[in-house]
Amino acid sequence: MTDLAIRLRGVVKRYGAITAVDGLDLDVPYGTCVGLLGPNGAGKTTTMRMLTAQAIADEGELEVLGFRLPEESKQARAQLGVTPQLDNLDVTLTVEQNLLVFAHLYRIGRADRRAAIERALEMANLGDRRDSRVDKLSGGMRRRLLIARALVHRPRLVLLDEPTVGLDPQVRQELWALIDALRTEGTTILMSTHYIEEAQRLADSVLIMSHGSVVAAGAPADLVAQHAGKDAVEVYGSPPRLAEVESTARAAGFRTRRTGTSVSVLGVEGADGRAPEGERRPANLEDVFVLLTGEEIA
């Protein structure tokens, strides 16, 4: 008996010449929220699709809730809640009817159906919109309903694929509150995202993926401390000035990264006099991400 909700070892998935996932190891302990962070094309969605057996791995071992995939995917799916990246709600039905369809699909007994739906509505704060047709809901409400629908059968594990993609920042915050509530309740969550702040706020541990592989894994604060240090200095200026700051800092042994109009010089704590003048700030997960993947993201 394993204490892991998800256990992947050496998982490979190829599409013709493209290796979408390249030797992935992933552990998701029960009761934790794990974030898969990576730029577009890193292999996050492919990983999610393998966990639901919508895609079948070419190599490796996959275990979800103690069931081996793909052989036992039906048993795993019964205890799994999934929110896809693309909204596939039935827009001709009401909020409540959408939940009812899923209550049937997941074979929730007649006696328990009402309570299950009420609980999901409450969780997603959609009680007062229960009779609204889905095409009358805002984007944020639809996304909350997608999550509510994934919760109706009280899954032990929830897979959230880019849960806040395309939402404006205020609505994103509402979704974060919902995901955080799920976490607090003890639901195990695997979430893919390309929003660094989302991973930093919600995930107990993060895997940074690039080109199908994991380039770093750990608690956000540990990853920051390990790769980017404690403090950074942000230097603004003209492109030639930035290039000069960059090369001087690198020659002095600092790690640097570009952020649009500035250069961040990392790990400047305790480096009095050697670090350039600039705005001091705490190092963050975005610094780690850019250092390790070489990519700027939204």
CB-CB contact of 5 with 30 (8 Å): yes
3-state secondary structure 196-242: HHHHHHHCCEEEEEECCEEEEEECHHHHHHHHCCCEEEEEECCHHHH
How many angstroms separate the Cα of 286 from the Cα of each of 39, 93, 111, 282, 296? 12, 40, 48, 11, 9
Least separation in angstroms between CB 45 and ligand ATP: 3
- Would you say 123 or 207 has its CB closer to ligand ATP? 207
163 contacts ligand ATP (rule: CB under 6 A): no
Q: Considering the complex, what minimum distance in angstroms separates the CB of residue 85 from ligand ATP?
A: 7
Beta strands in 65-212 (DSSP E): 67-69, 80-83, 157-161, 188-193, 205-210
Quick note: the x/- pattern for ligand ATP over 179-218, rule CB under 6 A, is ---------------x------------------------
Cβ partners under 8 Å of residue 159, min gap 6: 48, 51, 52, 80, 81, 82, 83, 189, 190, 191
Show the binding pattern over residues 119-158: x = contacts ligand ATP (CB under 6 A), - = does not.
----------------------------------------
Of the pair 216, 249, the CB lying nearest ligand ATP is at: 216
Q: Which of residues 12-31 bind ligand ATP (CB under 6 A)?
A: 15, 18, 20
CA 4 to CA 6: how far, in whole Å?
Answer: 5
Q: Dihedrals φ, ψ of 284, to 5°?
A: -140, 180
**Residue closer to ligand ATP, measured from CB, 50 or 157:** 50
CB of 43 to ligand ATP, least distance (A): 4
Residue type at position 95:
V
Distance CA 189, CA 28 (A): 8
Total number of residues that touch ligand ATP (CB under 6 A): 12
Which of 35, 38, 81, 163 binds ligand ATP (CB under 6 A)? It is 38
Residue 48, helix vs strand vs coil: helix
Nearest CA-CA partner of 208 in 29, 26, 61, 28: 26
Using an 8 Å Cβ cutoff, are 11 and 68 in contact? Answer: no
- Near ligand ATP by CB under 6 A, which window of 37-45, 70-78, 166-174, 275-283? 37-45
User: CB of 145: closest distance to ligand ATP in angstroms?
Assistant: 21
- For residue 204, the minimal CB distance to ligand ATP (Å) is 21
| Shortest distance, position 44 Cβ to ligand ATP, whole Å | 4
Task: Find the binding residues for ligand ATP in span 41-70 (CB under 6 A).
Answer: 41-46
Residues near ligand ATP, by CB under 6 A = 15, 18, 20, 38, 40-46, 194
